[in-house]
Amino acid sequence: MTVNDENSEKSPLLESKVLFGEIKLKYSKWVAYSIVMLIVFSQCYSVISSLYIMNQYAYYAFMKEKYPTRNAIQIAGRSDSACSVNTSIVEYKQQIVVQKLTSEWNIYCTLAQNIPAVLISMNLASYSDVYGRKPFFLVPLIGTFVKNLACSLGIYFKISIQWFIGFYVIEGSTGIWASTLSMAFCFVADTTMPGKTRSLVIALIETSIGLGSIISTSLSGYLIQWTDSYMYPELLSVIIVTVGIILAVFVLPETLHPSRKRDDQVTICQNMRNVTECYTSEFSPLGKRWMFILLILIFIMSAFGNLGRPNVEQIYQMNSPFCWDSVRIGWYAAMRSMAWSFGSIIIIKLFHICTTDDVIAVVGCITCVASAILEGIATTDLYLYLAAGASIGSVVTLPMVRSIMSKMTPPHKQGSIFAGVAAVEVICNMGASVSANAIYDATLDFNKGMTFFIMAGYGGVGIILCLLFISEKKKTLSDLTPK
């Protein structure tokens, strides 16, 4: 432990006075963090629930459009459609056509949402260093509200499914969930000292994403069955995100003290240069440029190893030899999300007893590799459940990288660093989803599990980069230590 670390551990009262007294929080820091987690949860529930609902509605809409005499809801709910249907009958061929149309529609929606989101997410958190945090919490929440409400109305009035792509553009133009996440991390950076507490709170916020995923994936299918409608479950997602907006407006405190605000009024182009500054210059006395570059590469490898998996898993599990129905797929997704999210908290708490964030990042990459390999070689349900169990803490690398980068960044540049990571996460989310589906389609005939082996390869590269970072960091610290 260094002298600075020792002093920070021994002076919690001074830390509390400096950080919390100046910003005048109305309640304890953990209550404030709970509010932030509820806001993140509300948006993630709404986003994931809408994704699940709109995928099924798109299938239904294309079926009604192409083959109006068929009962599309019944077909979409069949558990044996991919395993025991006679491939020579007309109904099966019609289903293949609709699946392709739905898949193409999903790609257009993903691009429409994520392309503008890259630009917006790079700027929102960075501008919050100038104008404060609260306004930029609201922007992506309002975007999700408008998009989900528009989808609900579109379903009710039965407008053409192609028009829904424009609704995704609206959400993307407000920064999507990644911007809310980056704002939450700015909130944490404003109210914690660099150290284990910051790492834990960042991981807890990521866990609220998992909780939103668990509840939405396990509930949406039942809601569609109970209401016999797609509109009411989609409308529920509007109500949930509205709760987040209310919390952000009336309850969430402003945490950026005036003394920490950047004075410069920059253009969008200048702001984007600020976001990438850590990779192009020695912008911080607390971390070298090569450290930031290596960390963002680790982040990219972990993101590609994990974020594209849910998109392929559904197709993988629907087909032989598993032949799972939608309810079983939903519960498996909930179980895996639980292993990812709550497993990360367990790993952080256990490993923080004896080691550091960079070592925990290695552990996350190792579990990513193990679970992806198990899923790739799966021939029975048991292998899939083992893969879900092995994925415990698989995404822990992402919050650990964020935490390390935040520790190396000056207080007045926290928004810029989180904005840069958010933009990278949006690109990775889009790239991982598209590439995972493309690889699965290309290798389906000779090896269904190939896409998972490639994901394991991403994790393997992440392990190597983590070990390189740890080794080079020790050398750098050794050189800086007086002899």
pLDDT band at 2 (very low <50, low <70, confident <90, very high): very low
- Per the structure, the count of domains in the chain is 1
The count of other CB atoms within 10 Å of the CB of residue 255 is: 25
Is the confidence at residue 76, as pLDDT, over 90?
Answer: no
Q: What pLDDT does residue 47 have?
A: 93
Q: What pLDDT does residue 378 have?
A: 93
Q: Is residue 16 part of a domain?
A: no
pTM of structure: 0.77
Q: What is the average per-residue pLDDT within 363-390?
A: 94
CATH of the domain at 194: 1.20.1250.20
Q: Is residue 39 part of a domain?
A: yes
Query: 420 or 137: whose pLDDT is higher?
Result: 137
Q: Is residue 261 part of a domain?
A: no
pLDDT band at 351 (very low <50, low <70, confident <90, very high): very high
Q: Is residue 5 part of a domain?
A: no
- Max mean pLDDT range (264-278, 352-366, 431-445): 352-366
Query: 227 or 2: whose pLDDT is higher?
Result: 227
Q: What pLDDT does residue 96 have?
A: 67
Q: What pLDDT does residue 66 have?
A: 87
Is the confidence at residue 345, as pLDDT, over 80?
Answer: yes
Residue with tokens 């169990």: 389
Q: What is the average per-residue pLDDT within 202-216?
A: 88
Query: 162 or 279: whose pLDDT is higher?
Result: 162
Q: Which of 147-156, 257-266, 437-446 has the lowest mean pLDDT?
A: 257-266
pLDDT tens sequence across 425-468: 889 988 888 888 778 877 877 788 899 999 999 999 999 999 99
Query: 319 or 222: whose pLDDT is higher?
Result: 222
Q: Is 443 exposed, middle or buried (0-12, 13-18, 19+ CB in 10 A)?
A: middle
pLDDT tens sequence across 284-337: 676 788 899 999 999 999 999 998 887 778 778 766 678 777 678 778 888 888
Q: What pLDDT does residue 398 have?
A: 93
Q: Is residue 314 part of a domain?
A: yes
Q: Is residue 403 part of a domain?
A: yes
Q: 257: which residues sit within 8 A by CB, 6+ positions away?
A: 22, 23, 190
Owning domain of residue 143: 25-72+79-256+266-480
Q: Is residue 9 part of a domain?
A: no
Is the confidence at residue 144, as pLDDT, over 90?
Answer: yes
pLDDT tens sequence across 231-255: 999 999 999 999 999 999 999 988 8
| Tokens encoding 296 | 């963002």
Q: What pLDDT does residue 75 have?
A: 44
Q: What pLDDT does residue 480 have?
A: 52
Does 321 sit behind a cis peptide bond, omega within 30 degrees of 0 on the bond before it?
Answer: yes
pLDDT tens sequence across 57-73: 888 898 888 888 765 44
CB burial readout 333-346, b (16+ within 10 A) else e: bbbbbbbbbbbbbe
- Max mean pLDDT range (44-48, 200-204, 216-220): 44-48
- 391, 371 in Cβ contact below 8 A? yes
Is the confidence at residue 483, as pLDDT, over 80?
Answer: no
User: What rounded mean pLDDT belongs to the chain?
Assistant: 83
What is the full DSSP assignment across 137-174? HHHHHHHHHHHHHHHHHHHHHT--GGGHHHHHHHHHTT
Is the confidence at residue 122, as pLDDT, over 70?
Answer: yes
Q: What is the average per-residue pLDDT within 220-225?
A: 80
Q: 183: which residues sit within 8 A by CB, 6+ positions away?
A: 124, 125, 128, 133, 136, 137, 140, 418
